[in-house]
């Protein structure tokens, strides 16, 4: 029997989930998966990739980015100006053309992720009614596996079942919605606040205990209720939370309260950088970092994981399911503003923004992001993200790696910022430098674990053969910005920046079980208020190029 | 890598003499994309279309499968395969190929059309460029505050139509989304809403209005800026306002008071605004006014889109190229320039040297110079029926009708994607089938393997 093995030979392997920290190993691949080395010494691989002297890691996983769906597509339409003067992506005989700017077109997004050594990405905020749109874009986003989180924090049925104290209905609804959308995880965005935004001028909730108009529930109830229901459903990634009061001075207390509201259930606090600010009353002089006390809390509470939402200096596009935040930012920056309210479900805000290193607030945001990476002791619970494109592009990940691994470089950049930062954050005094193993954790092994993806983020037998091979370099930004080889599902997609072949990739989603009797209640509610028909709402499997159901725990 | 997986749903053939009922079918006649139609089919003919409006009924009940060849080359019947070959040959030999139309095709077919334009370094443009293209440009200037149609039904207590005549263009707009529905926060339906219609003539829609404001033709821009000024409390000369807009100043101040006092205002606008003097400046004024109103209350705006899937076309072209319409690939990557790469202009300037027209009829409705040029270049046309454009075409394909004979996905005017439930099969190929076959040949000729 001649099996078609590929062997990656003698690479220096970083595979933290299997406890391999820079040891030289061979990796065997068969049918798109990693397998144990054949015991029969006469079995030879069909192809050997000589990785001696090179660094081998699992493919990167971006667990929080905005790459598909209505909001992202509106941002593409809205910003022709930055594409015209930006990098162009011409077509080749194997790739489609595309456009860049802060919100690349679908094909460009797939190619750029792959070229960066990332093989899986999750869109963080899809309105359920637009799930079909997200899946259509996914099919045009090549080279990576994809999934998305489903907006639920302002869903009327969620709030109604909490108001009526019907936890069984809530649980069934979450499961029904994930099944209907072919989504991956529940997402809360400014829970309750977006609903208030729909009802009045500049409406929002002010904190965890302010009541949502009409429903009479509080953000705290939404967070606790959904976290508990998601836990009972044994979802691989129970709940992904964009806290209330994003970007507001003094919001660190809201964020801590959100963590407490989880009541010990697993929960992921996303782009936490934007939620870690001291001060208040809109006075810039009081704006400061509260990462130290918050990181202490995270260190002490293992049910909580975070991703950072690092800010990088430069121009980008802010896009959020947080409608009132979009309004706030549009007033701060004064540029064009998009807002869209989606019936029964969610909101959206988009506006161009620019982070300047000479601005004290922006420089502090940058420093606060880095503090988070450096002050959480357990790298398994902190994940690299820029909240692409909100803090900056995913293409900035190599720069962040350098900032984390090279404190001299970090301090050099810090010196270009207003010196007042050193009084308002601890970054200048932090000496910690990340190791390659820790980088492998925060960019692949950790997110795989947090997402409950057993076949990703590691290089042991059974894992998807998603592998990135880097050429070591003293300058870690150089090392990580152009991998030597990127392998997806066992196929070499990228060779030193050149795309050699493409594939469409799988869609990762969940199918939690629920009590179908309770569907009647959902249907009754749905038919009363939605503008489309019940039967035309769920997305069927034909919309997924390749479905991959991630099992519940 | 064009959507190998995307199989456009095939309908099941009906058994002779038997009635078949299709629930929750979607009407693609206009941008309302009503998805609650109940179709009765007998012997491959739709005999009843429950809940459809007058336009929808005409769309469904008058539909018959065209008794003509699926493919004509230079007016003579040909096999599909010959047609695909000839089409691919035309598209790959041109120096400036253009592909246009798309707003009456499902997204699955639109995606293939964009792929072809990419491989042949051609221009891709949609009928958006001749309807709400100016709104798209205005959007790029100021953004847009908007919502889904269900939000209008549930919350909209002040509904303004500007340069739009839904009574004739979108007959179920009032009953399904904007005026009549008893919404979550508007239990009394129409009684809980104020309807204002602004237009240059008393349209059929005017009857539905509580307040009808007839402005001077071509003065939309001045009228909208009057409201913007009033919103900001800027003092105006009442005489001047009256002279410029044709409407008493007090009418505008009254309207502004009502706009500020409502809870959730909505402005629907149509081609009466976008295709009159000022074009994108008009749309920009309206979008800016809507944005300004959010300093006082909640206000949203929404273009009333015409064609069934013109919104899908905007979305597909945007996600694949980064730009909504008028996209040129001659340098190998997408560039956007309305006025240059928009088809009516490209043709009128005598620039394109071959064209593929999909579900549109430029030979009937483009300008004289554009039509004249189009008649001189090799032309491929896809349509469900014979039109002046298919008659002028070098290669004409008769295609199945989306939503009646073929499935796929359509985006409602508020970007909500809706699946189609076809009623009965057609002997003709779908536009997805035709475009896919052409794309395969184009790729083979050009040596593209992606």
Alpha carbons A455 and A32: distance in angstroms, whole number: 11
| Each residue's pLDDT tens digit, A432-447 | 999 999 999 999 999 9
Question: Where do runs of H (alpha helix) occur along A235-335?
Answer: 252-261, 291-300, 323-333
Nearest CB to B416: which of A94, A129, A156?
A: A129
Report if pTM > 0.95. yes
Nearest CA in chain B to A84: B335
Measure in Å the smallest separation between the Cα of A325 and chain B Cα atoms.
Answer: 14
Burial A197-221 (b: 16+ CB within 10 A, else e): bbeeeebbbebbebebebbebbbbb
Q: Which residues of B touch A77 (CB under 8 A)?
A: 136, 139-140, 314, 318, 323-324
Q: What are the residues facing B146 on neighbouring strands?
A: A340
Which of A70, A71, A96, A196 would best serve as a mutation to test chain B binding (most B beta carbons within 10 A)?
A: A96
CB contact under 8 A, A76 and B318: yes
Asked if A536's CB is within 8 angstroms of B35's CB, the reply is yes
Mean pLDDT over each residue of chain B, to the nearest integer? 95
Choose the mutation target among B34, B322, B324, B420 for the interface with A, i.e. most A CBs under 10 Å.
Answer: B322
User: What integer pLDDT is reported at residue B5 of this predicted model?
Assistant: 40
A136–B147 C-beta distance less than 8 A: no
**8 Å CB contact of A531 and B177:** yes
Task: Report strand pairing: A88-89 vs A98-99.
Answer: antiparallel
Contact B140 A80 (CB under 8 A): yes
Average pLDDT, integer, range A370-398: 98
Distance CA B436, CA B438 (A): 5
> How many Å lie between the alpha carbon of A296 and the closest alpha carbon of chain B?
40
**Set of chain B residues whose Cβ sits within 8 Å of the Cβ of A544:** 5
| Sign of CA pseudo-dihedral A385, A388, A390, A392 | positive
From B289's Cα to the closest Cα of chain A, the distance in A is: 13
Instruction: Give the pLDDT band (50/70/90) at residue B8.
Output: low
Minimum CA–CA partner of B419 in chain A: A536
Contact A93 B449 (CB under 8 A): yes
**Are the Cβ atoms of B318 and A532 closer than 8 angstroms?**
no
The pLDDT of residue B17: 84
| Per-residue pLDDT at A283 | 59
Average pLDDT over residues B149-168: 98
A contacts of B329 (beta carbons < 8 Å):
91, 97
Quick one: what percent of chain A has pLDDT higher than 90?
97
Backbone angles phi, psi at A269, to 5 degrees: -95, 120
- The single-letter DSSP state of residue A265 is S
What chain A residue is nearest to B312 in terms of C-alpha separation?
Answer: A133
| Phi/psi-derived region of residue B270, left when phi > 0, alpha when psi is between -120 and 50, beta in every other case | beta
Residue B263 makes CB contacts below 8 A (sequence gap 6+) with A199, A200, B155, B157, B185, B297, B298
Structure tokens at A260: 């407490």
- Which pLDDT score is estimated for B65? 83
Mean pLDDT, residues A360-386 taken together:
98
- A237, A186 Cβ separation under 8 angstroms: no
Q: How many Cβ contacts (< 8 angstroms) between chains A and B?
A: 225
The Cα–Cα gap between A340 and B412 comes to: 15
Cβ within 8 Å, pair A531-B323: no
Predicted confidence band of residue A116 (pLDDT cuts 50, 70, 90):
very high
* Closest residue in A to B152 (Cα–Cα): A343
Closest by Cβ to B318, choosing from A73, A130, A535: A73
Please tell me which residue of chain B has the smallest CA distance to A79: B140
The count of other CB atoms within 10 Å of the CB of residue B56 is 21
Please give the residue that has the higher pLDDT: either B6 or A142.
A142
Locus of tokens 């005489």: B239
Written as six digits, the tokens of A409 are 């470089």
Residue B3 has pLDDT above 70, yes or no: no
pLDDT for residue A1: 57
Nearest residue on chain B to A532, judged by CA atoms? B35
pLDDT over threshold 70, residue A552: yes
Residue A327, judged by CB atoms within 10 A of its CB (0-12, 13-18, 19+), counts as buried
Mean of per-residue pLDDT scores for chain A = 97
Which range among A52-61, A350-359, B16-25 shows the weakest confidence by mean pLDDT?
A: B16-25
Whether residues A136 and B9 touch (CB distance < 8 A) is answered with no
B259 forms beta bridges with none
CB contact under 8 A, B298 and A200: yes
Structural tokens at position A524: 């009754």
Q: What is the mean pLDDT of residues A128-153?
A: 98
Per-residue pLDDT tens for B327-376? 999 999 999 999 999 999 999 999 999 999 999 999 999 999 999 999 99
Which residue in the set B185, B419, B446 is minimally distant from A536, CB to CB? B419
Place A499 in a pLDDT band, splitting at 50, 70 and 90: very high
CB contact under 8 A, A545 and B5: yes
- Supply the pLDDT for residue B9: 62
Which chain B residue has its CA at the smallest distance from A133's CA?
B417
The yes-or-no verdict on residue B260 having pLDDT over 70 is: yes
Identify whether the C-beta of residue B430 lies closer than 8 Å to the C-beta of residue B73. no
CB contact under 8 A, B263 and A199: yes
Query: What digits encode the pLDDT tens for the residues A230-286?
Result: 999 999 999 999 999 999 999 999 999 999 999 999 999 999 999 999 998 755 568
Q: Tell which of A77, A321, A546 to mutate to test the B interface (max B CBs under 10 Å).
A: A77
Q: Is the pLDDT of residue A124 over 50?
A: yes
Say how far apart CA B234 and CA A182 lie, in whole Å: 51
Q: What would the pLDDT profile of A171-228 be if each residue is shown by its tens digit?
A: 999 999 999 999 999 999 999 999 999 999 999 999 999 999 999 999 999 999 999 9
What is the pLDDT at residue B101? 97
What is the number of residues in chain B? 450
**Would you call A133 and B291 a contact, using CB atoms and an 8 Å cutoff?**
no
Query: pLDDT tens-digit profile of A401-433?
Result: 999 999 999 999 999 999 999 999 999 999 999
Cβ atoms of B154 and B184 closer than 8 Å? yes
What would the mean pLDDT of A528-535 be, rounded to a whole number? 97
Nearest C-alpha of chain B: how many angstroms from A155? 13
With CB atoms and an 8 Å threshold, state whether A98 touches B300: no
Which among A101, A119, A240 has a CA at the least distance from the CA of A485? A119
Q: Residue B444, Cβ neighbours under 10 Å: how many?
A: 12
- Indicate the pairing of strand B194-199 with strand A240-242: unpaired
Please judge whether A533 and B320 are an interchain contact, meaning their C-beta atoms are less than 8 angstroms apart.
no
- The reply to whether residue A532 touches residue B35, judged by beta carbons under 8 angstroms, is yes
Q: Tokens in use for B54?
A: 């007058």
Tens digit of each residue's pLDDT (9 = 90 or more) over B188-215: 999 999 999 999 999 999 999 999 999 9
pLDDT band at residue B18, thresholds of 50, 70 and 90? confident
Instruction: Assess whether pLDDT exceeds 80 at residue B138.
Output: yes
State yes or no: pLDDT of B14 exceeds 80.
Answer: no
Residue A324 with chain B: CB contacts under 8 Å: none
CB burial of B376-413 (b: ≥16 within 10 Å; e: otherwise) equals ebbbbbbbbeebebbebbbbbbbbbbbbbbbbbbbbbb
Inter-chain touch A101–B322, beta carbons under 8 Å:
yes
How many other C-beta atoms lie within 10 A of the C-beta of residue A539? 22
Q: How far apart are CA B94 and CA B166, in angstroms?
A: 41
Distance from CA of A67 to the nearest CA of B (A): 10
B176 vs A contacts (CB less than 8 Å): 531
């Amino acid at each position: 029997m001649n099996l078609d093995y590929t062997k990656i030979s003698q690479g220096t392997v970083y595979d933290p989930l299997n406890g391999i920290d820079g040891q030289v190993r061979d990796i065997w691949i068969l049918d798109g998966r990693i397998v144990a080395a054949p015991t029969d010494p006469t079995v030879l691989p069909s192809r050997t990739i000589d990785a001696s002297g090179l660094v081998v890691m699992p493919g990167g996983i971006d667990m929080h980015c905005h790459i598909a769906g209505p909001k992202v597509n509106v941002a593409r339409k809205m910003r022709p100006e930055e594409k015209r003067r930006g990098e162009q992506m011409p077509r080749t005989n194997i790739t489609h053309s595309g456009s860049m700017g802060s919100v690349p077109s679908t094909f460009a997004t797939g190619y750029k992720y792959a070229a960066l050594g990332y093989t899986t990405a999750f869109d963080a905020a899809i309105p359920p009614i637009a799930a079909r749109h997200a899946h259509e874009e996914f099919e045009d986003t090549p080279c990576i596996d994809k999934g998305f989180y489903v907006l639920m924090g302002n869903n009327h049925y969620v709030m109604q079942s909490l108001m009526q104290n019907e936890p069984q209905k809530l649980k069934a609804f979450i499961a029904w919605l994930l099944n209907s959308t072919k989504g991956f995880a529940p997402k809360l965005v400014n829970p309750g606040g977006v609903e208030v935004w729909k009802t009045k001028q500049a409406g929002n909730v002010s904190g965890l205990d302010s009541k949502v108009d009409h429903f009479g529930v509080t953000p705290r109830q939404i967070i606790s209720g959904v976290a508990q229901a998601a836990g009972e459903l044994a979802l691989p990634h129970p709940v992904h939370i964009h806290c209330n009061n994003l970007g507001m001075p003094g919001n660190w207390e809201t964020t801590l309260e959100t963590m407490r509201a989880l009541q010990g259930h697993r929960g992921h606090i996303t782009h936490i950088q934007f939620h870690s600010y001291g001060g208040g009353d809109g006075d810039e002089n009081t704006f400061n970092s509260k990462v130290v006390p918050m990181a202490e809390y995270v260190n002490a509470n293992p049910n909580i994981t975070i991703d950072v939402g690092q800010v990088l200096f430069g121009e980008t596009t802010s896009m959020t399911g947080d409608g009132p935040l979009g309004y706030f930012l549009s007033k701060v920056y004064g540029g064009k503003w998009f807002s869209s309210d989606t019936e029964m479900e969610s909101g959206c805000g988009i506006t161009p923004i620019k982070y300047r290193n000479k601005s004290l607030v922006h420089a502090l945001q940058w420093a606060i992001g880095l503090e988070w990476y450096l002050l959480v002791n357990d790298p398994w619970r902190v994940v690299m993200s820029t909240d692409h494109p909100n803090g900056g592009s995913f293409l900035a990940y190599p720069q962040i790696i350098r900032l984390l691994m090279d404190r001299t470089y970090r301090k050099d950049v810090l010196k270009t910022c207003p010196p007042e930062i050193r009084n308002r954050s601890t970054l200048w005094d932090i000496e910690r430098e990340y190791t390659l193993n820790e980088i492998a954790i925060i960019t692949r092994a950790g997110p795989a674990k947090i997402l409950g993806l057993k076949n990703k983020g590691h290089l042991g037998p059974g894992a998807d053969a998603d592998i990135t091979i880097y050429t070591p370099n003293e300058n870690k930004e150089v090392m990580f910005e152009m991998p030597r080889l990127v392998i997806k599902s066992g196929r070499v997609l990228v060779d030193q920046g050149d795309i050699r072949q493409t594939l469409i990739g799988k869609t990762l989603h969940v199918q939690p079980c629920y009590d179908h009797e309770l569907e009647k209640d959902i249907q009754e509610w749905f038919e009363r208020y939605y503008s489309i028909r019940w039967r035309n709402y769920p997305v069927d499997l034909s919309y997924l190029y390749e479905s991959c159901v991630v099992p519940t725990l | 890598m064009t959507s190998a997986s995307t199989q456009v749903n095939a309908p099941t053939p009906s058994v002779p003499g038997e009635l078949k009922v299709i629930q929750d079918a979607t009407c693609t006649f206009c941008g309302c994309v009503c998805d609650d139609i109940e179709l009765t089919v007998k012997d491959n003919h739709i005999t009843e279309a429950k809940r459809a409006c007058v336009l929808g009924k005409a769309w469904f009940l008058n539909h018959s499968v065209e008794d003509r060849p699926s493919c004509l080359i230079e007016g003579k019947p040909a096999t599909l395969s010959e047609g695909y070959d000839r089409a691919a040959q035309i598209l790959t030999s041109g120096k400036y190929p253009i592909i246009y139309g798309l707003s009456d095709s499902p997204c699955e077919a639109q995606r293939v059309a964009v792929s072809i334009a990419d491989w042949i370094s051609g221009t891709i443009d949609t009928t958006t460029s001749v309807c709400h293209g100016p709104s798209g440009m205005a959007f790029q200037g100021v953004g847009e505050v908007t919502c889904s149609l269900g939000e209008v039904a549930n919350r909209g207590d002040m509904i303004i139509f500007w340069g739009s005549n839904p009574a004739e263009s979108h007959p179920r707009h009032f009953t399904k989304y904007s005026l009549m529905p008893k919404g979550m926060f508007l239990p009394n339906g129409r009684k809980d809403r104020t309807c204002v219609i602004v237009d240059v003539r008393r349209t059929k829609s005017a009857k539905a209005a509580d307040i009808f404001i007839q402005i001077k033709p071509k003065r939309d821009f001045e009228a909208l800026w009057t409201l913007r000024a009033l919103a900001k409390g800027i003092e105006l000369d009442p005489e001047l306002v009256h002279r410029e807009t044709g409407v008493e100043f007090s009418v505008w101040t009254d309207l502004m008071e009502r706009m500020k006092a409502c809870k959730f205002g909505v402005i629907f606008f149509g081609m009466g605004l976008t295709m009159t003097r000022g074009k994108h400046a008009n749309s920009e004024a309206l979008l800016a006014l809507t944005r300004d109103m959010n300093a006082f209350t909640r206000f949203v705006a929404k273009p009333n889109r015409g064609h069934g899937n013109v919104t899908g076309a905007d979305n597909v072209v945007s996600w694949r190229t980064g730009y909504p319409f008028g996209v040129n690939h001659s340098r190998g990557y997408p560039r956007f320039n309305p006025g240059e790469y928009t088809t009516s202009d490209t043709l009128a300037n005598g620039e394109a040297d071959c064209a593929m027209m999909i579900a549109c009829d430029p030979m009937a409705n483009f300008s004289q110079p554009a039509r004249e040029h189009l008649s001189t270049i090799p032309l491929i046309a896809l349509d469900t029926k014979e039109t002046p454009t298919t008659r002028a075409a070098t290669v004409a394909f008769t295609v199945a009708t989306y939503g009646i004979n073929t499935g796929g996905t359509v985006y409602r005017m508020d970007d909500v994607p809706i699946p189609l439930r076809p009623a009965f099969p057609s002997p003709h190929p779908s536009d997805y089938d035709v475009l896919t076959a052409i794309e395969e040949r184009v790729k083979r000729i050009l040596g593209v393997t992606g």
